[in-house]
Amino acid sequence: MRKKKKEKKFHANQHSFFFEDYLSTNQKFKKEKNFIINEDRIYILFFSFFSLILIFSLKIVFISFQSPIHNERTNHIYNFNPVRTDIVDRNGILLSRSVTAYHAAVKPNLIKDKKKFLVKIKLVFPKTDSKNLIKNLNQKKYFYLKKRLTDTEREKLWKLGEKGIIFEPFQTRVYPHSDLYSHIIGQTDFDNFGISGVENYYDNYLRNKKNLAKPLQLSLDTNIQYLVKNELDDALKIFKAQGAASLLMDTENGEILSLVSLPDFNINKRTDLRDKVFMNKITKGVFELGSIFKTFTIALALDENLVDQNTIINDITTDIKCSVHKISDIKKFPESMTVEDILIQSSNIGTIKIARKIGEEKYKKFLNKLNLLKSPEIELDEIGNPLPFEWNKCKLETVSFGHGITTTPLQAATAYASLINGGKLLSPTLVKDKNNNLKTNQIISKETSQKIKKILRKVVTDENGTASLANIYGYNVSGKTGTSQYYNDENKNINTFISFFSVSNKNYILLVMLDNPQIAKNLTYNYRGLKIKGTRNEAGWNAVYTSGKIIEKIGPILAINNKEVLNHHVVKKTN
């Protein structure tokens, strides 16, 4: 009995998960088990702390190898929503984009040593007004040290290690090409509203959030714009001109591939420019462009069948009386000349005689049809208004050779394009593919257009022509020169050459204008195979020379671009 009771008592204290073989050592094992559990906890805690230390150490090492600017940008990039869409050129090259920039602000209560702070700031910004800075440090709770920091300035300030300097982020527009498109792209204000150029004209489109993934694509070509600007810069130096401008346009669709006006300016710098020299000479400048108007006179006379290109005009005297005025030519011409010779050699008197055959009413209507007497239309607000005038005595005569009438270079180039593209009136545009389905009006007949093209080609190739320096091999350059005086200053000239040339079966209009150029006495011209020094100051000796240089540079790029476009269309049709 006792034996059974002992066994029962033992079993009552038994743990159910132990085997029978370990019953005799149960209490001992109980103590060892408690010890093992405590030791495991220590290992787990040690491993956890070690892992945390390792993670933080690696993070510290990683951060130490990064630039502070990168870290700042990383913090903002995920929440960055541009307020304006991008602007790109015809090849997708970026022209304008919204980015995060920074102002430098100061919290004086976080600065321990204000004198030391002042010294540090003077090292970064030597032109800082010390008295004003001390005043702000002592009287204000928060003020701006400098707005719109450059990356270099921000990094220098960050390295000062001052907690009181606050980098305040904001959105701004940046223009990667700085001054290359200063007269076209324009600028935005501090609130990201467009205030000039394309930025202003397309402000609603660029601010529309639905268009953020759809950049505004312009018709401009950055590579061509760069080459044209370089040649105009050279022309300013060679001819000591006060300014220069050029326009390159496709004669079929009116797309502008290049528009340059010099002097220009860096649009990344928000500076207030009031000097008229920075005006957009192509769209806003209003000038007397001289003899280029003779082409309009001849074209209208041909289209009205009043003359043919071989019609003889007699009695071309040295001067002619009109009312109480006397109009003369710049040199003596033959007494009898054909219509095409009058244009080739640029005779004022010969042109007047043809204009009198046309009559005032027809001539006025023709100029209106060419949009030469009203403000131009293009995607910019910076446009000029031709000066109004009365059609009184002698106005027909003077206007016929470009005297006493003003217009913008944009309008003149567009009118020329309409004359040589088969007679279709163009609408100039800065936006790619905008005019693809645009209906055009017929200004002159195709037959008249062909006749004008042939005559203008002879202006370049004929021995008596005024534009021989633009005869660049392989491009069939044609055009007309214009030398005129300032509208209000007879001592200054505006020299212009409007040309058209062919590249891979496509035609382009190129206008080059020089503002008050001087004789280039040190320049040696290659004039019809002869080496001669500069002695004259007409358009044929500076604007034409510059145009030839430009065509030489941009011709190969246009050829490559046209070939790529042609191949693209062929592949599309094949597919």
CB-CB neighbours of 563 under 10 Å: 12
Q: What is the mean pLDDT of each run of 10 residues along the chain (575 residues)?
A: 43 38 41 54 76 80 59 46 93 95 93 91 91 92 91 91 92 93 93 94 96 95 98 97 97 97 91 84 95 98 97 93 85 94 96 96 96 95 93 92 95 97 95 91 96 97 95 95 82 94 94 96 89 90 97 95 62 47
CB-CB neighbours of 168 under 10 Å: 13
Tell me the C-alpha distance between 231 and 223, whole Å.
Answer: 13
Residue pair 355/297 in contact by the 8 Å Cβ criterion: yes
pLDDT at 325: 81
Same domain, 409 and 448: yes
Q: In which domain, by residue range, is 345 found?
A: 243-265+279-574
* Structure-token match 């044609």, residue found: 478
Report yes or no on 233 lying in a domain: no
Total tally of structural domains belonging to the chain: 2
CA 264, chain centre distance (Å) = 11
pLDDT at 208: 95
Same domain, 323 and 453: yes
Tell me the C-alpha distance between 113 and 95, whole Å.
Answer: 44
Tell me the C-alpha distance between 506 and 496, whole Å.
Answer: 23
What does DSSP assign to residue 288? -
Report yes or no on 553 lying in a domain: yes
pLDDT at 567: 59
CA 316, chain centre distance (Å) = 47
Tell me the C-alpha distance between 191 and 193, whole Å.
Answer: 6
> What's the CATH number where 168 sits?
3.90.1310.10
Same domain, 210 and 257: no
Same domain, 424 and 526: yes
> What's the CATH number where 299 sits?
3.40.710.10
Tell me the C-alpha distance between 53 and 62, whole Å.
Answer: 14
Same domain, 248 and 191: no
Report yes or no on 335 lying in a domain: yes
Tell me the C-alpha distance between 196 and 379, whole Å.
Answer: 11
Nearest 5°: phi and psi at 392?
A: -95, -165
Report yes or no on 295 lying in a domain: yes
Residue pair 225/181 in contact by the 8 Å Cβ criterion: yes
> pTM score, two decimals?
0.81
371: left (phi over 0), alpha (psi -120 to 50) or beta: left
Query: What are the residues facing 497 on neighbouring strands?
Result: 481, 512
Report yes or no on 122 lying in a domain: yes
Same domain, 258 and 190: no
Report yes or no on 1 lying in a domain: no
Same domain, 467 and 372: yes
pLDDT at 44: 78
pLDDT at 459: 97
Residue pair 509/480 in contact by the 8 Å Cβ criterion: no
Tokens of 314: 């007699």
pLDDT at 5: 43
Report yes or no on 507 lying in a domain: yes
pLDDT at 272: 74
Same domain, 550 and 449: yes
Angstrom distances, CA of residue 240 to CA of 228, 232, 260, 520, 552: 18, 11, 18, 8, 22
Residue pair 459/501 in contact by the 8 Å Cβ criterion: no
pLDDT at 150: 85
Query: What are the residues facing 87 on neighbouring strands?
Result: 96, 216
Using CB atoms within 10 Å of the CB of residue 205, give its burial: 0 to 12 exposed, 13 to 18 middle, 19+ buried: middle
Pairing of strands 216-217, 87-88: parallel
Nearest 5°: phi and psi at 58?
A: -65, -40
CB-CB neighbours of 91 under 10 Å: 13
Tokens of 409: 């270079």
Same domain, 461 and 562: yes
Report yes or no on 255 lying in a domain: yes
CB-CB neighbours of 69 under 10 Å: 15
Same domain, 391 and 250: yes
Tell me the C-alpha distance between 472 and 77, whole Å.
Answer: 51
Among 181, 201, 217, where does a domain finish?
217
Same domain, 292 and 153: no
Same domain, 316 and 186: no
